[in-house]
Amino acid sequence: MGSFLALVIIILVALLLVKLGASALQLTGMSKPVSLFQASSAFLGVM
């Protein structure tokens, strides 16, 4: 049970970080779908 809870917390923190990065990119004038894609790519290290 503890490992499942840790996994859920890690996933939620990762999603929160991507959402925060997308919000920061939207402040620069980027559209919402593009900013979400860019933030998730940056978080995962995908080029």
Domain edges within the chain: 2-44
Q: DSSP assignment of 2-39, as one string? A: HHHHHHHHHHHHHHHHHHHHHHHHHHTT--HHHHHHHH
Q: Could you read off the pLDDT of 3-41 as tens digits, one per residue?
A: 999 999 999 999 999 999 999 999 999 999 999 999 999
The larger pLDDT score, comparing residue 20 to residue 1, is at: 20
pLDDT score at 30: 96
Residues in the chain: 47
What letter represents residue 13's amino acid?
V
> Rounded to whole angstroms, how far apart are CA atoms 19 and 12?
10
Predicted TM-score of the model (pTM): 0.82
Q: Cβ(26)–Cβ(35) under 8 Å? A: yes
